[in-house]
Structure 1
């Protein structure tokens, strides 16, 4: 149900924050000294879940369309 989906999202967010708390503290204290971000790793993870968990040959058009669907899914 929608309610269960929201509860799972909150649990996942809580787990993520707790697992990364040390890094969050460092960023809060020394944010101006830290250069870079983890975007590439997160994006790579999102795409690899879909594109490599179901091994197939991907055309450029197919991968472009699937990428748009993945981006759409995570921006809702």
Structure 2
């Protein structure tokens, strides 16, 4: 569909839905790229395990932050 800025609300809704679907695809791909949630092994110390968990949680936070930003951008765009 060709998108124009002629006040066609239906086209804008369709465009927004396509973008939101794309964001959902990006989210799913990002989640699939995350390593498995860390599980403690008997060969590591608690400190080593906690460090791995911290790295995992930081990557997860970054992913969520970027996705929230994308969603907010789409919402602001669709309000024009």
Q: TM-score range by the shorter chain?
A: 0.3 to 0.5
TM-score by length of 2: 0.35
Provide the TM-score with structure 1 as the length reference.
Answer: 0.36
**Higher relative contact order by CA 8 Å / sep ≥ 6: 1 or 2?**
2
**Higher alpha-carbon Rg:** 2
